[in-house]
Amino acid sequence: MSSPVGTRLETNNVAGEAQVSPSLLQLALRRLWRDRLSMAAIGMLLFLTLLCFGAPVINFLTGTNSRNIVADSFLPPLTPGHILGTDDIGRDHLARLLEAGQVSLSIGFLAALMALAIGVTVGLLSGFIGGHLDDGVIWFITTLNSIPLLFIILLIAAFLSPNATTLILALGLFGWTGTARLVRGEAIALREREFIISARASGAGNLRLMFAHVLPNQLSIILINLAIDIGIIILVEATLSFLGFGVQPPQPTWGNMLTESRSFMYYGPHLVFWPGFLIFVTVLCLYVLGDGLRDAFDPTTID
């Protein structure tokens, strides 16, 4: 996915992706395991995910929830019963952050997964089968790439009512072109490789070739893109909220909490800090992980 917000681009098409045999995968995993930064990122991401989706348990323990007005507005952090204080209309801030996290993380993960699924499928088919299909796909990708993605997403969000589902669909349906191009390139390269040719000679059909032989070799692209895309999408969600086209309150997301809290710097600085911090940490971890994966899969990396 080319980034709609900033200007991040795939850099992994330069260093020449290598085909990944099972032993290379094991090697990569071993490298990743030794990369402390990446492992810390994975740990943090797991922790945050568990925390957000464990919200019902936490709410049960703290005796609060994200929707009800339970106390005075703008209680400071560490108020008994409200570890992170309360928001502008008196809802528990922690509970809201966790619910928001569920939404933001789900949007990021599901949209990235959808974009990836479409991108890999289209890329494989187009690269492996080629011909008119390939021409059509290339034209379609060029068309989509000619509109800045943020504009498309803005259009969709502005004209359909923006909620988590429409955002996932919009980002998934329009964010797959980058992946598709990479996978297509790889597929074309692999098509002529010996192991594919010999598999074809032994009677393997196109589908089987694609999914049993080519796809596993794309694992590195898939994993790296997934990590980076989730990060980008979480940022896009926040940007859309800032521009007024994101998921609408009272449904909280990290993005719209951050956007709303801009004006609370005087009453409750804690309301500004946490959503921004959580977005930052999550995206940072995802990028670090993406970088780590790239290095782990890079055959030129010296152990």
Partner 1 sequence: MKTALRLTLVLFVLCLSSLSAMAQEGGIVVRGNAGADPTAFDPLLTNETVTSDIQALIFPDLLSVDPATASIVNGPGPNALASGWELSEDGLTYTFSLRDDLYWTDGEQIDADDVMFVWDFIQSGAVPTHLSFVADEIANVEKIDNFTIAVSFDEVDCDAILSIGALEPYPSHIAPEDLTTMPDQEFNQNLYVSSGPYTFGEVRPAESISLLANPDYVDAELGYVNNDAFVLLNVPDLTVMVERFLAGELSIISGPQEARRAEIYAAEDEGRVQIYTYPGNSWDYLAFNLADPSNPQNAVDEDGNAIDQGMHPVFGSTEVGRDVRRALNMALDVDDIIERATFGEGTRMASHLVPASWAFDPTIEPVPSDPAAAAQMLTDAGWVNSDPDDPSSVRVCQGCATAEDGTEMRFVLNTNEENARRTAIITIAQESWDKIGVKAEIQTLEWGSYLEKLFTQTLDAYVIGWRNGYPDRPDATQLFTPASDVVGGCSNCMSYNNPEFTAINEQARTLPGCSIDERKALYAEAQRIIQADTPYIFMFVRNGFYAAGSEVNGFDPFPSQLLWNVDTWSISQ
Partner 2 sequence: MTTFVIRRILQAIPTLFGISILVYAIMLATPGGPVAALTFSPTVTPQERAALAAQLGVNDPFHIQYLRWLLGDDWMRFDSDGDGVADTAYLIPLDADGDGEPEPPGTRRGILRGDFGSSFFHGKRHVIDVIFERLGATLELGVASLVVGLTIGIPVGVLAAVNRGGPFDNFTRIVSVIFNAFPVFWLGLILLLIFGGTGLGLLPMGNRCGLVLVGGCPPLYERLEYLVLPTFVIAAGFLAVYSRFMRASVLDVGTQDYIRTARAKGLSGRMVWFRHGLRNALIPIATLLGPSVTGVLSGAVVTENIFSWPGVGRLAVSSLQQRDYPTVMAIVMLASITTIIGYLLSDILYALIDPRIRLR
Q: Kindly state the number of chain residues that form the binding site for partner 1, as judged by CB under 8 A.
A: 19
- Closest separation between CB of residue 126 and partner 1, Å? 37
Under the binding rule (CB under 8 A), the answer on residue 134 touching partner 1 is no
The two three-digit tokens of residue 260, written as one number? 């709303």
Residue 46 binds: one of partner 1, partner 2, none (C-beta under 5 to 8 A by kind): none
Hey, which residues between 39 and 68 contact partner 1 (CB under 8 A)? 68
Hey, which residues between 211 and 250 contact partner 1 (CB under 8 A)? 244, 248-250
- Closest separation between CB of residue 302 and partner 2, Å? 9
Binding residues (CB under 8 A) for partner 2: these are: 2-9, 11-12, 14-16, 139-140, 142-143, 145-152, 154-156, 158-160, 231, 235, 238-239, 242-245, 255, 258-259, 262, 276, 279-281, 283-284, 287-288, 291, 300
- Closest separation between CB of residue 15 and partner 2, Å? 5
Q: Which lies closer to partner 1 via its Cβ, residue 88 or residue 295?
A: 88
Between the alpha carbon of residue 78 and those of residues 32, 38, 87, 92, the distances in Å are: 38, 32, 13, 11
Q: Which lies closer to partner 1 via its Cβ, residue 145 or residue 263?
A: 263
Residue 9 binds: one of partner 1, partner 2, none (C-beta under 5 to 8 A by kind): partner 2
- Closest separation between CB of residue 231 and partner 2, Å? 7
Burial class (CB in 10 A: 0-12, 13-18, 19+), 53: middle
- Closest separation between CB of residue 248 and partner 1, Å? 5
Hey, which residues between 142 and 181 contact partner 1 (CB under 8 A)? 158, 161
- Closest separation between CB of residue 4 and partner 1, Å? 20
Residue 300 binds: one of partner 1, partner 2, none (C-beta under 5 to 8 A by kind): partner 2
178 φ, ψ to 5°? -60, -50
Q: Which lies closer to partner 2 via its Cβ, residue 207 or residue 284?
A: 284
Between the alpha carbon of residue 152 and those of residues 4, 5, 17, 33, 136, the distances in Å are: 9, 12, 30, 39, 21
Under the binding rule (CB under 8 A), the answer on residue 264 touching partner 1 is yes
> Exactly one of 77, 90, 216, 276 binds partner 1 (CB under 8 A); which one?
90
Give the gyration radius of the chain's Cα atoms.
22
Hey, which residues between 267 and 286 contact partner 1 (CB under 8 A)? 267
- Closest separation between CB of residue 283 and partner 2, Å? 4
Binding residues for partner 1 (CB under 8 A): 68-69, 73, 88-90, 158, 161, 244, 248-250, 260, 262-267
